Chain A
Amino acid sequence: MVIGVLALQGDVREHLRALAECDALARPVRRPEELESVDALVIPGGESTTMSKLAVEFGLLEPVRKRIAGGMPAYGSCAGMIMLATNVLDGRPDQRGFDGIEMTVRRNAFGRQVDSFESPVEITGVEGGPFHAVFIRAPWVESVGAEVEVLGRVAGGDAAGRIVAVRQGNLLATSFHPELTGDLRLHRYFVDLARAAS
């Protein structure tokens, strides 16, 4: 099984490294033909408007969308969560995504960079205590569809209770960046999910 990391822009290397540390075969995906050779896809953190634009320009938008509709496992962190959402608030009018998880996501919901923060988040289905979550100009999930399982919420502060981790079938998304902390539990969770699906 091979896991691709969408490598149009963002912290691609950190996801590749985290996947490798989970003993998964991981490689970057920038072209439609590279997408064909992977069994699952990680959409990294980065700037969602840039990723959206490049995905359209380089002919990846429709192929990824089709693969995801066809059941390919995918995991998105931060900008990746935005790319996986069916509905985005505070985005650009021409922003396109992969329409994977039935949810409404608000972009830059916590504020600007000075509001970026770290905070523990309990994740349903991930053992070993709360996840030390890093939120960077992060989105949150405003509402989810019936099929979506909420896995985690912000524990404290002004945004307490906001949804920041979700799963719908083979699709996983977090507002925060596990790839930045060295805590591999969410990547392992995704690798297991992808293995089970392949």
Chain B
Amino acid sequence: MSETTEQPTTAPVTGTGRVKRGMAEMLKGGVIMDVVTPEQAKIAEDAGAVAVMALERVPADIRAQGGVSRMSDPDMIEGIIDAVSIPVMAKARIGHFVEAQILQALGVDYVDESEVLTPADYANHIDKWAFTVPFVCGATNLGEALRRITEGAAMIRSKGEAGTGDVSNATTHMRRIRSEIRRLTSMAEDELYVAAKELQAPYELVKEVAESGKLPVVLFTAGGIATPADAAMMMQLGAEGVFVGSGIFKAGNPAQRAAAIVKATTFHDDPEMLAKVSRGLGEAMVGINVDDIPVPHRLAERGW
């Protein structure tokens, strides 16, 4: 995190980079669960979720039903905010800054500018610096992550392929982001200029990543996580926490599965514990192979 020297004043200052990025730091090692009703939000909180993502349809249903997918109904988001005491996130369409303004006015704790919804702007993402509420954005590679951070994202999640229950894209994206970071750390300083050009990201940010060996914001994983083992694998691959979408409430026993994924995320490096928490969870979501989805219907390709 970059250090800024500020003149001390006694007046509290809100919406700073530090409180936005810091909020994501507090979610680390935790699981954020997609919920579509206050009842589901309570199940998620009971299971130990660190936050919930309020949305109208989980990605698997968005995929099945098609059509344009938008920000959720404010009544529904408020119902979820009232139902739980943990942070509530909600999704805005890529580039739809007015949806984001509405979500901020509703008091959501984090806005996900998400490829799961239908993009509202195919050229620009939201200028996230203009908001008090922090944003999380998806990325499939380091350049994309750094562009989102440049626009003001305070948290990044690898995209994966939402609504599939197929973890392979989450793996690909997390491995790619991490290996591109490792590559930067091994570069000579004068090579970073070209690296910045190739990553299509600002040089200062590229240099910061090269020096620290990590993104300047928290990196979670998302898209296709359906089992405790999936969550633990993503953590071992370097994710700092996990978003689970359709994987919980499209499964046989959501409450039990949700609790098991929370435990697996904490003890991601302990196979005996993972074996224990993976037992007796009932049926996982049926899922769909990413390869069987026609390219135009792949959500991870949205955003750039």
Interface of A toward B, CB cutoff 8 Å: 7-14, 30, 45-47, 49-50, 53-54, 57-58, 78-79, 90-92, 107-108, 112-120, 129-130, 132, 134-137, 154-157, 159, 177, 180-182
Closest-CB distance, B154 to chain A (whole angstroms): 10
A10 & B29 in contact (Cβ 8 Å cutoff): yes
For the complex, is B19 an interface residue (Cβ under 8 Å from A)?
yes
Closest-CB distance, A85 to chain B (whole angstroms): 15
In the complex, chain A residues whose CB is within 8 Å of the CB of B29: 7-10, 12, 46
Closest-CB distance, B256 to chain A (whole angstroms): 13
Chain A interface mostly? loop
Closest-CB distance, A127 to chain B (whole angstroms): 15
CA distance A11 to B14 in the complex (A): 21
A9 & B30 in contact (Cβ 8 Å cutoff): yes
**CB pairs A–B below 8 angstroms (13 shown):** A9-B28, A10-B29, A46-B26, A49-B48, A49-B85, A79-B26, A92-B45, A118-B12, A129-B8, A135-B12, A136-B23, A156-B11, A182-B3
B49 & A130 in contact (Cβ 8 Å cutoff): no
B25 & A117 in contact (Cβ 8 Å cutoff): no
**A157-B26 contact, Cβ under 8 Å, with A50-B49, A54-B48, A112-B109:** no
In the complex, chain A residues whose CB is within 8 Å of the CB of B45: 49, 92
For the complex, is B304 an interface residue (Cβ under 8 Å from A)?
no
The 10 closest A-B pairs by CB, nearest first: A156-B10, A113-B109, A117-B12, A116-B19, A155-B10, A157-B12, A47-B50, A53-B48, A119-B12, A9-B29
In the complex, chain B residues whose CB is within 8 Å of the CB of A108: 85
CA distance A9 to B261 in the complex (A): 13
B1-21 residues with Cβ-Cβ distance < 8 A to A are 1, 3, 6, 8-16, 18-19
Residue ID in chain B nearest A78 by CB atoms? B26
B263 & A136 in contact (Cβ 8 Å cutoff): no
B186-201 residues with Cβ-Cβ distance < 8 A to A are none
For the complex, is B156 an interface residue (Cβ under 8 Å from A)?
no
Given contacts A47-B51, A115-B14, 9 further A-B contacts (CB under 8 A): A9-B28, A13-B28, A47-B86, A113-B19, A114-B132, A116-B23, A117-B12, A119-B13, A137-B23
B19 & A118 in contact (Cβ 8 Å cutoff): yes
CA distance A12 to B28 in the complex (A): 8
Residue ID in chain A nearest B8 by CB atoms? A120
In the complex, chain B residues whose CB is within 8 Å of the CB of A58: 263, 266
In the complex, chain A residues whose CB is within 8 Å of the CB of B25: 10-11, 14, 45, 180
A114 CB contact (under 8 Å) in B51, B86, B133: B133
